[in-house]
Amino acid sequence: MNKFNLWVSNLVRLLMH
């Protein structure tokens, strides 16, 4: 559960960057 959330957050952050 947490792993997925972290992965998504990382992706979003990369996209926002």
Q: Each residue of 1-17: pLDDT tens digit?
A: 799 999 999 999 999 98
Tokens representing 8 are 């998504």
Alpha-carbon distance of 7 to 2, in angstroms, equals 9
Burial string for 1-17 (b: 16+ CB within 10 Å, else e) reads eeeeeeeeeeeeeeeee
Predicted confidence at residue 10, as pLDDT, reads 98
Dist CA 16 CA 8 (whole Å): 12
- Backbone φ and ψ for 12, nearest 5 degrees, come out as -60, -45
Residue 1: its pLDDT value, please? Answer: 75
pTM attached to this predicted model: 0.18
